[in-house]
Amino acid sequence: MALVDVNQLRVTFGGKTAVSAASFAIEKGETFSLIGESGCGKSTLLRVLAGLQREWHGEVAVLGERLQPGQRFAGPLRRNVQMVFQDPWASLHPNHTISRTLSEPLSIHGETQIAENVADALQQVGLSADAAKRYPHQLSGGQRQRVAIARALLLRPQLLLLDEPTSALDMSVQAEILNLLNRLKAQHGMTYLLVSHDADVIAHMSDRAAFMAHGEIQRVFDREAMLRNEHRMG
């Protein structure tokens, strides 16, 4: 059974259709990517699967659970579906230390040994334990994105949603983050849904990729097609 199963998903905002009749499935353990120009509906689709966009039509199942429009994620879904955003500033509280930011989701879910888990998470993403004492403004953009990834991984999610996770970073840091994500995926057996407009990022990360335009999925590429550069639609 697919880890994610989307059938005829449609999202509209004030009469404007953001996603139109999108259908696809993601198998456990793969990296499935959505590629397309800005405004084509990629991020909206991702937000539906994250439980952030709650008004939609169609059929969506995540981790074997049928989602219902208008409802918040509860129970295992809250833990097993995590998201990393394009801009870590948006998800890191400017007045909280990194330690507090990483501790909060563990506390909410009743975890113990919080300090040890925070230190381990920082180590996994290549940051020193000393980073826990700092505030977001004291870190570089790449370091902040590593913290955002560490927070998403703390609860050992089955599905990680990645919304342009490296587009705000320079090229050298971008490569480091992408390689980190690939390594962590292999270590923890996770499934990724990656949104990007960068064909090179898609080729580096993906097992399959879907090209979106005008709110529709127009074509799906397998690994061999991407190696032939067929996903470079522009």
Distance CA 112, CA 157 (A): 17
Residues 6+ apart with CB under 8 A from 197: 35, 36, 37, 38, 42, 164, 167
16-46 residue pLDDT tens: 999 998 999 999 999 999 998 888 899 999 9
Instruction: Tell me 88's DSSP state.
Output: G
Confidence (pLDDT) at 233 = 66
User: Contact, 220 vs 210, CB < 8 A?
Assistant: yes
CATH of domain 4-91+152-227: 3.40.50.300
Q: At what angle do helices 98-108 and 141-153 cross, to 10 degrees?
A: 20
What was the pLDDT predicted at 182?
94
> Which tokens is 137 given?
């403004």
Domain extents for the chain? 4-91+152-227
Over the chain (234 residues), what is each successive 10-residue block's mean pLDDT? 94 91 95 91 94 95 94 88 87 92 89 89 91 94 92 91 90 90 93 93 94 91 92 73
Q: Are strands 191-196 and 159-163 parallel, antiparallel or unpaired?
A: parallel
Per residue, what are the HEC states of 128-146?
CHHHHHCCHHHCCHHHHHH
At 59-74, the pLDDT tens digits run 999 999 999 999 988 8
Quick one: tokens of 211?
């090209």
Both tokens of 79, joined, read: 């833990």
Measured between alpha carbons, how far is residue 31 from residues 95, 185, 191, 192, 222 in Å? 34, 9, 6, 5, 11
